[in-house]
Amino acid sequence: MSLISVFKSLYPAIAGPLKPDDEFTSPHQRELITYKKLNDDKSPFSVIAHRGASYYAPENTMAAFELAHEMNADMIELDVLLSSDQVPVVLHDPHLKRTTNGNGNAQDFTTKELKKLDAGTWFSSEFRDEKIPTLQEVLEWASGKIALNIEIKPEAVTVDAINGIEAKTVQLVKEAEMEKHVVFSSFDYRAVGRIKKRNPEMITALLYNKKISENKNLVWLANHYNADGMNLNWSEVYPERLKQLREHNIPVWVYTVNEPELMKHLINRGISGIFSDRPDLLRHVAGKEK
């Protein structure tokens, strides 16, 4: 691992969630964002395919996205990092080893080099032709078809608030005319705040992380970063917290749930959506089958 890679991977921890160039507080008039607004669906509950239908196909590949669409997911969640030539690519881990036949830090490879890798065989030989998609490819495929939650990985966020990954992803979303069908999220709150500050029309959500939140109240955080929604780990869903977020019209989307009993329990608590590797099962449990 090069020194630059080490620095990049440690950067969010070193820098913390907020730097002086990132002042986000703004008056908040929040309208509850439901899936209806994102995709003309009448149901207030969204079935979100986590990294695509990643229980059945290799995560963050076109195969997983196609399958999620076939399973009637309402939305697909995907993760983005930057290649060395600064192109947003769809990949969860900063390191290539787990989900491709490559080795090294993805952000040290050009898009052309990343495209040569096999992103499917690690899952099953049936998927050996799968490639790492660029965000542009996924947006072009999804346009007019399905909503997306674009998660910006903290490893790709830098001090560059103007030309960083946030600006590049927003530009691609605009080019694909997907503004009304995309939610941007990140564990790096700076990225979420920057997107909203420069593009108030974009829909954003904070990926709550206790460690980086300095014990701040969730409503305070959503207001401070002007976020439209809150993405919570299922273990962070407490009744009092839900009540407070609901009172402030802040939708709660919960990740990552693959067990039907837990799905049922959370749906009964009135959350706005669940991220699952099994969108077909979630759809069934949520009673959204056609």
- Judged by the rule CB under 5 A, the positions of this chain that interact with Mg ion are 79, 151
Interface with ligand G3P, residue 231, by CB under 6 A: yes
Interface with ligand G3P, residue 77, by CB under 6 A: yes
User: By beta-carbon distance, which residue lies closest to Mg ion?
Assistant: 151
Helix (H, G, I), strand (E, B) or coil at 95: strand
Compute how many other C-beta atoms are within 10 angstroms of the C-beta atom of residue 257.
Answer: 24
Q: How far apart are CA 236 and CA 185, in angstroms?
A: 17
Q: How far apart are CA 153 and CA 169, in angstroms?
A: 12
At 33, the amino acid letter reads: I
Interface with ligand G3P, residue 151, by CB under 6 A: yes
Beta strands in the chain (DSSP E): 46-50, 75-82, 88-90, 147-152, 182-186, 203-207, 229-233, 252-255, 273-276
Provide, rounded to whole angstroms, the least separation between the CB of residue 79 and ligand G3P. 5
Provide, rounded to whole angstroms, the least separation between the CB of residue 20 and ligand G3P. 28
Assign residue 187 a region: left if phi > 0, alpha if psi is -120 to 50, beta otherwise? alpha
Provide, rounded to whole angstroms, the least separation between the CB of residue 41 and ligand G3P. 20
Q: How far apart are CA 35 and CA 177, in angstroms?
A: 18
| Annotation marks residue 224 as catalytic | no
- Exactly one of 100, 185, 204, 223 binds ligand G3P (CB under 6 A); which one? 185
Interface with ligand G3P, residue 166, by CB under 6 A: no
Which among 28, 92, 248, 284 is annotated as catalytic? 92
| Annotation marks residue 92 as catalytic | yes
Which residues lie across from 189 on neighbouring strands? none
Provide, rounded to whole angstroms, the least separation between the CB of residue 253 and ligand G3P. 8
Interface with ligand G3P, residue 79, by CB under 6 A: yes
Q: Which residues are catalytic?
A: 50, 92
Contacts to ligand G3P by CB under 6 A: 50, 77, 79, 92, 151, 185, 207, 231, 255-256, 275
